[in-house]
């Protein structure tokens, strides 16, 4: 299950990097640096979508049932057919959600993306104790079947010279990636 969580995290980070044009030596994208000021950037990503968007009739009825039961106030989600299931993306209360289902319609994981002001205080305190000089740019909250309701957080940090991706799971923190600004 750790391999699945790692693969899901790696896929989310790769997708985030690819869709926002982030490169290790050239990460100066105002849409990422100020997500709390520019929610329309997230909306553009959802609307831009990709070629795999499918109609509701193609989605597993079990996945649709679970989705509508779990997310009652969502009105404009977009669905995508994946190699091993389905994904839906939507924005709810200024939080970007990606929810994943397998081919049988069972929930397999979800990723929430948001700004620092929406972070749980205990997670923010863990980060700020170690990285007090860094700004928290963006937060990804990942949950999978094997996480038993305990999310893993990927926090995007930045100071004047560096960018770091820090992971917190089970109250343990480690650096996933580190870049120097040019």
The CATH code of the domain at 2-180 is 3.10.450.360
* pLDDT confidence of residue 14: 43
**Mean pLDDT score of the chain, rounded to an integer?**
78
Are the beta carbons of 164 and 134 closer than 8 angstroms? Answer: yes
Count of C-beta atoms within a 10 Å radius of residue 91: 17
Q: Which two tokens stand for residue 126?
A: 């863990």
pLDDT (tens digit per residue) in 9-64 = 445 444 443 333 333 333 334 344 444 444 444 444 444 444 445 565 678 899 99
pLDDT (tens digit per residue) in 79-108 = 999 999 999 999 998 999 999 999 999 999
User: Any alpha helices (H) in 54-135, and if so which ranges?
Assistant: 61-70, 121-130
- Domain limits, the chain: 2-180
């Amino acid at each position: 299950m750790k391999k699945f969580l790692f693969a899901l995290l790696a896929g989310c980070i790769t997708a985030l990097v690819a869709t926002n044009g982030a490169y290790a030596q050239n990460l100066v994208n105002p849409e990422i640096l100020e997500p709390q000021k520019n929610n329309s950037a997230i909306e553009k990503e959802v609307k831009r979508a990709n070629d795999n968007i499918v109609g509701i009739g193609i989605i597993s009825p079990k996945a649709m049932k679970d989705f509508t039961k779990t997310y009652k106030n969502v009105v404009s989600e977009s669905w995508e057919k994946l190699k091993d299931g389905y994904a839906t993306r939507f924005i709810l209360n200024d939080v970007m959600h990606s929810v994943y289902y397998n081919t049988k319609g069972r929930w397999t994981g979800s990723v929430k993306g948001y700004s620092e002001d929406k972070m749980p205080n205990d997670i923010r305190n863990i980060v700020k104790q170690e990285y007090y000089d860094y700004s928290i740019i963006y937060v990804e909250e990942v949950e999978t079947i094997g996480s038993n309701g305990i999310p893993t957080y990927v926090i995007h940090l930045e100071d004047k010279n560096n960018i770091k991706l820090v992971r917190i799971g089970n109250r343990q923190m480690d650096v996933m990636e580190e870049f120097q600004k040019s």
